[in-house]
């Protein structure tokens, strides 16, 4: 099993450009999450989803949109990228069942210039 796969791994954007980050999991997990991590800081939750067709805001949702059209995929969109969105983005997934661990992807390093 691949687990949680993030695409792309690296990207440089110009201010104002748009892009979509893809998170795919092959573990049939219901819950999926998007985080950002800035240098020297912990992970901050952007958006999350508790099932196909559902999304919810996390701690820092402004400037981002998400979609969960298929259970295995969770997309994070930046409509108009800003330098403040330069960060490493992590996706995670977990089962709906109680007390289960979350699995993380390897991250997407995004630079907005």
Partner 1 sequence: DAKTTQPPSMDCAEGRAANLPCNHSTISGNEYVYWYRQIHSQGPQYIIHGLKNNETNEMASLIITEDRKSSTLILPHATLRDTAVYYCIVRSSGAQKLVFGQGTRLTINP
Where on the chain is the footprint of partner 1 (CB under 8 A)?
A: 4, 31, 33, 35, 41-45, 48, 50, 56, 58-59, 88, 90, 92, 94, 98-99, 101-107
Identity of the residue, 12 or 50, whose beta carbon is nearer to partner 1 in the bound complex: 50
Q: How far is the CB of 17 from partner 1 (least distance, A)?
A: 24
Question: What gap in Å lies between CA 70 and CA 60, rounded to an integer?
Answer: 23
Residue 4's φ and ψ, nearest 5 degrees, are -115, 125
The torsion of the CA quartet 71, 64, 109, 23, rounded to 10 degrees, works out to 0
Residue 17 or 94 with smaller CB distance to partner 1: 94
Closer to partner 1 at the Cβ: 57 or 70? 57
47: nearest Cα among 30, 63, 69 = 63
């Amino acid at each position: 099993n691949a687990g949680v796969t993030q695409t792309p791994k690296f990207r440089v954007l110009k201010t104002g450009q748009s892009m979509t980050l893809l998170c795919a999991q092959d573990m049939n997990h219901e819950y999926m999450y998007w985080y950002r991590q800035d240098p020297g800081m912990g992970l901050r939750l952007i958006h999350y989803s508790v099932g196909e067709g559902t999304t919810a805001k996390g701690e820092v949702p402004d400037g981002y949109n998400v979609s969960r059209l298929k259970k295995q995929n969770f997309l994070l969109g930046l409509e108009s990228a800003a330098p403040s969105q330069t960060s490493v983005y992590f996706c995670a997934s977990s089962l709906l069942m109680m007390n289960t661990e979350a699995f993380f992807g390897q991250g997407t390093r995004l630079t907005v210039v």
